[in-house]
Chains A and B, each alone.
Chain A
Amino acid sequence: MTGRILPWVVPGSILLLWQAAAQFGLLSNQVMPAPSVVAEAAWRLLRSGKLLVNVEISTWRALAGFAIGGGIGFALGMLNGLSSLSETLTDSTLQMVRNIPHLALIPLVILWFGIDEEAKLFLVALGVFFPIYVNTQHGVRSVDRHLLEMGRAYGMSEAALFLYVVLPGALPSIFVGLRYGLGIMWLTLIVAETISASSGIGYMAMNAREFMQVDVVVVSILIYAALGKVADSLARLLERSCLAWNPVYAKVSP
């Protein structure tokens, strides 16, 4: 029982202290509105439908960008892990591009795409691409040679080797890339939406700032945190069901 309550003690007390500080005028509402005020703002936004529309748009951008960048990263990671010709051709170029912080491209991206959807998708895809690419390639590379030899000795076809040995062997590493990529996905989207957008959570926050609605700004930040947490939890759930064979994951509690 204590194990269930204990992790909530610290955040709970912070929330209480925060509420008390705002109540007794120690915290100005223009700096940090009380939790009750923030909750009220969230309820208001939810009732008006604004919140859901913006969450939907941001989630769509995040997932679409992730699918594009992650898909390309996964495919190239697999290809470069399996084929040394492909790796020799492309890896050094990719490693050079990797060293450019993708957010530094924002001015260029705005010049190319304006503030349309493509700009956001491009940035998210670019940000997600590298962690997925690097970890997929590393995963394929670190598949146990002994198992590959066993598979060949037992007459597995190349397709069967890939499906039953290479892919499951690379999966733990791919999941590391997936979770890392999800983090980058939200981070990129926040920055992109804050700088240039006409919808989405980041836009909602920037719009609220113009009107000094600090409570709405705080709601937006919390929504980002919640979405990030949901994405991470889903990835962990997927990880644990896919890697049930691995004793490391079998014992981890949710």
Chain B
Amino acid sequence: MTIDVLDRAANAELRGSSMGAPVLLHGVSKAFGDHHVLRGIDLAIEPGQFVAIVGRSGCGKSTLLRLIAGLDQPSAGRVAVDGRTDGWHDAVRLMFQESRLLPWQRVSANVAIGLAHARDRRDRRRQAASVLRRVGLAGRETSWPSVLSGGQKQRVALARALVSHPRLLAFDEPLGALDALTRIEMQELIETVWQEKGFTAIVVTHDVSEAVALADRILLLDGGKVAMDVAVDLPRPRRRGDPLAAAVEGRILDRLLRR
């Protein structure tokens, strides 16, 4: 780690936010036995960029995300987050389709899981409370996860991911199980938090309109390769039903449905 990076990290800590981490993929392939999921992907993601990965189910988009998050190793090629090919995981946080909260820990303790390395208990609790306030769950610190609604659980999961000020946040279909209205609320929350904190965001989704609503850049995976790389240059906050957004969405859907 260079002095410059250390400096930036310290700055980020001061502002209570995080600098985005750049992501570089070079010739990344992943095979499970004879089944080749990803075939030689080259990809550069700018720090602080919001990238959506879309594709048919089974196209390898979750696999790609898991490689970037460091949960799996590529069969060939190199993944570098923040210029490092391993040991970046502390700066990367992951949100799953299910909230994956520990049912036997109260909300506050669940959020504090994101602070595994902070030793001081009072400090952990204080940080957890502050990030819970940010996601709109002030006062729910001592609730059990089982009494929360699906949307609230995902908010807690988001708080858990945010509490350590990650430089890269990876979302694996985080809103797939939510109802339509809660989904839109969560999208808006994720967007504003991303704008405040400046982390790099990568979201895997099967919902093209969600991708268009959130992302700067949409990658369409097909046949284990990036089949389409679309820059979404629309002003934020994006209104639903905007004709420009609809045009982008139409283009991607056409490619997906091979029309």
Contact = CB atoms under 8 A, between A and B. Distances in A.
Please say whether chains A and B are actual partners in one complex: yes
B146 A246 contact: yes
Interface stretch (B48-56, B94-102, B124-132, B244-252): B94-102
B98 A245 contact: no
Interface in A133-190: 146-147, 149-157, 160, 164-165, 168-169, 171
Interface residues of A, number: 22
A247 interface: yes
Contact of A245 (B94, B100, B144, B160): B144
Interface residues of B, number: 24
Contacts of A246: 103-104, 146
A156 B103 contact: no
Given A164-B102, A168-B102, A245-B103, A156 B146 contact: no
A154, A164, A171, A246: residue with the most chain B Cβ atoms closer than 10 Å: A154
A153, A164, A243: residue with the most chain B Cβ atoms closer than 10 Å: A153
Contacts of A150: 94, 96, 100
B89 interface: yes
Contacts of B113: 151, 154, 156, 164
Contacts of A152: 71
A1 B238 CA distance: 60
B1 interface: no
B89 A155 contact: yes
A155 B89 CA distance: 8
B226 interface: no
Interface in B78-106: 89-90, 93-94, 96, 98, 100, 102-106
B105 A146 contact: no
Nearest to A155: B116
B105 A164 contact: yes
Given A154-B114, A156-B113, A168 B100 contact: no
Contacts of B102: 147, 164-165, 168
A147 B146 CA distance: 15
B86 to A, nearest CB: 14
B104 A147 contact: no
B121 interface: no
Given A147-B102, A149-B71, A153-B71, A247 B116 contact: no
Contacts of A149: 71, 100
Given A146-B100, A168-B104, A245-B104, A153 B117 contact: no
B123 to A, nearest CB: 17
B116 A154 contact: yes
A213 B233 CA distance: 95
B73 to A, nearest CB: 13
Nearest to B146: A247
Contacts of A243: 104
A45 to B, nearest CB: 45
A146 B146 contact: no
A160 B146 contact: no
B84 to A, nearest CB: 15
Contacts of A155: 89-90, 116-117
B69 interface: yes
B146 A245 contact: yes
A156 B104 contact: no
Interface string B231-250: 00000000000000000000
A223 B69 CA distance: 61
Interface string A210-254: 000000000000000000000000000000000111110000000
22 contacts: A147-B102, A149-B71, A150-B100, A153-B70, A153-B89, A154-B94, A154-B113, A154-B114, A154-B116, A155-B89, A155-B116, A157-B116, A160-B116, A164-B102, A164-B105, A244-B144, A245-B105, A245-B146, A246-B104, A246-B146, A247-B146, A247-B147
Which 10 interchain pairs have the tightest Cβ spacing? A168-B104, A150-B100, A245-B104, A247-B146, A153-B94, A245-B144, A155-B116, A146-B100, A154-B113, A245-B103
